[in-house]
Structure 1
Amino acid sequence: MNTPVQIGLPQVILFIIAVLGIGMLISSLMGLFGGRHELELFEDETGRQYRRWRKRRRELRWKRGTSGIIMLILAISLLWLTFAVQSYLGLTNDIKVARVQATSFENDPHNMNLQLTMLDKDGNPTSNKLYNVNGDLWRLECVMVKFPTWMNIFGIHSSYKLTRLEGSYNDSNLERNSKHIVIDLNGGAGDFFNQAHNASWSKPFVDATYGNGVFEPADGKAYDIYVSQTGLYAKLANS
């Protein structure tokens, strides 16, 4: 599984804002519920007097806590803004993971030559292979491990892994009865996906585990494949 961590200047700024917000939140709560020290006069058995500081029990200090309440509201607002902005950055910062170009044969329209170029998280090719696939459409599949929204503050993108390439037919009769070619990619789903899907320990840290796929016609055009926080989608390549 690939789990990109997207750390840039926006994430650093948001992290600093989050730290400030948490600090203000703790400070405001301590100000509202904090105890206080008072200087008291004591006298021992010999009549000698002395003074010492005595800590009073914690209590809610409404009259003196106006500034603390304002700081509390400001801290919560900063934290909410941080998570909202980071969630937006995570949802819009998609990663190009592959390029697919398939061309059907003129004398055999239900077969295609398909070139699949897989890319790393930086857009560099990791493999470039040519396949012969049955069908009118090609389909690229992956498995996804989607993390909770709160983990977006650390710039963690959903985990993904390209797992399968296959063809399908426009005609449902051909889809039911004709030969299919299925190509496994990257060793299939893998242990991490299976463990995250079944293990109880992963529930607080995993929002969902599922399969996902994108399909396009074998029209000779090149398609760039992107992975978002929720799955794959295809766009016509610029060149």
Structure 2
Amino acid sequence: MVWWWWIIPGFVAVIGLAFALSGLGWMFRGRPVKGGRGVLGGALFLGIGAIIGLLGLNVQSYHRLTYERPVATIEISQKGPQLYEAVVVEPPTEQDPEGITRTFEVHGDEWRMEARVLRWKPWANVLGLDSQYRLDRFSGRYTDTQQELNAERSAYDIRPTRQSGIDLWPLAREYSRYAPMVDTLYGSGAYMPMAEGARYEVRITQNGLIARPTNEVAAEASSSGWN
């Protein structure tokens, strides 16, 4: 939260309220001109405070609705035709202070990461709730559908073995009809082309998983590797 967007309009509003109350006091004491100036000045300050507050609300809403955080980094090395090694590193947590590193042999042209996502209503995001995720599967995929049907496949279970804190997934699934802040529970996936030396980052947004290249090899593969 950008706290000063709320401190500043609050301070301005207090000044405006003080001016307005002072003006009303002068009016009740038979000084209408001086009192009128105080009321008008107070109204001006209150208006300025309201405008700054609305701007702060817009900034806060944009920040919350576009908030994202890291899920994993992926580094690719090629071992043969349509055969790659993917090193997947998850960020540190309370249970795993050094993060989790896993290595997978992946067949195909692209890697794919999937997760289950608990998405809150936008107003709940603005109030501070972030979409929750649970990693589910890491796999390879072929760009050609016939190969996808007939070639060698690779898929790995990457579901967490330990749960930190309260597991919101079963609670939201069971009581979603009674929880107006829950938008939906769904599966989300992100995939990118594989290439020797490519590095990617997977992040969770308020709407699901996204993937971005983090070096030139990955950027070139993602821009020219898909025909």
Q: What TM-score results when the alignment is normalised by the length of structure 2?
A: 0.64
Q: Percent identity among equivalent residues? A: 27
Secondary structure, aligned partner of 1:199 = helix
User: Following the alignment from structure 2 to structure 1, what is the Cα–Cα distance between the partners of residues 102 and 181?
Assistant: 36
More strand by share: 1
TM-superposed deviation, 1:180: 2.3
Change beyond 3 A, Cα 1:161–1:198: same
Q: Which has the higher contact order (CA 8 A, sep 6+)?
A: 1
User: Following the alignment from structure 1 to structure 2, what is the Cα–Cα distance between the partners of residues 125 and 237?
Assistant: 21
| Alignment partner, residue 109 of structure 2 | 136
TM-superposed deviation, 1:187: 3.7
Change beyond 3 A, Cα 1:150–1:163: same
More helix by share: 2
Question: Does 2:214 align with 1:237?
Answer: yes
**Uncovered stretches (5+) of structure 2, i.e. residues with no partner:** 18-42, 217-227
Tell me whether 165-174 or 190-199 shows the greater mean CA deviation.
190-199
CA contact (8 A) 2:75 2:87 kept: yes
User: Following the alignment from structure 1 to structure 2, what is the Cα–Cα distance between the partners of residues 129 and 83?
Assistant: 41
Secondary structure, aligned partner of 2:87 = strand
Secondary structure, aligned partner of 1:204 = coil
User: Following the alignment from structure 2 to structure 1, what is the Cα–Cα distance between the partners of residues 54 and 170?
Assistant: 33
Question: Does 2:200 align with 1:209?
Answer: no
TM-superposed deviation, 1:74: 8.1
TM-superposed deviation, 1:131: 1.1
| Alignment partner, residue 59 of structure 1 | none
TM-superposed deviation, 1:185: 1.5
State how 1:30-45 maps to structure 2 within 5 Å: none
| Alignment partner, residue 115 of structure 1 | 87
CA contact (8 A) 2:65 2:122 kept: no
Report the AA paired with residue 67 of structure 2: N
Report the AA paired with residue 59 of structure 2: V
Instruction: Compute the RMSD of aligned alpha carbons.
Output: 3.7
User: Following the alignment from structure 1 to structure 2, what is the Cα–Cα distance between the partners of residues 15 and 120?
Assistant: 32
User: Following the alignment from structure 2 to structure 1, what is the Cα–Cα distance between the partners of residues 173 and 51?
Assistant: 34
Task: Give aligned pairs, total.
Answer: 186
TM-superposed deviation, 1:114: 0.9
| Alignment partner, residue 22 of structure 2 | none
Secondary structure, aligned partner of 1:175 = helix
Change beyond 3 A, Cα 1:235–1:182: same
**Uncovered stretches (5+) of structure 1, i.e. residues with no partner:** 1-6, 28-68
| Alignment partner, residue 45 of structure 1 | none
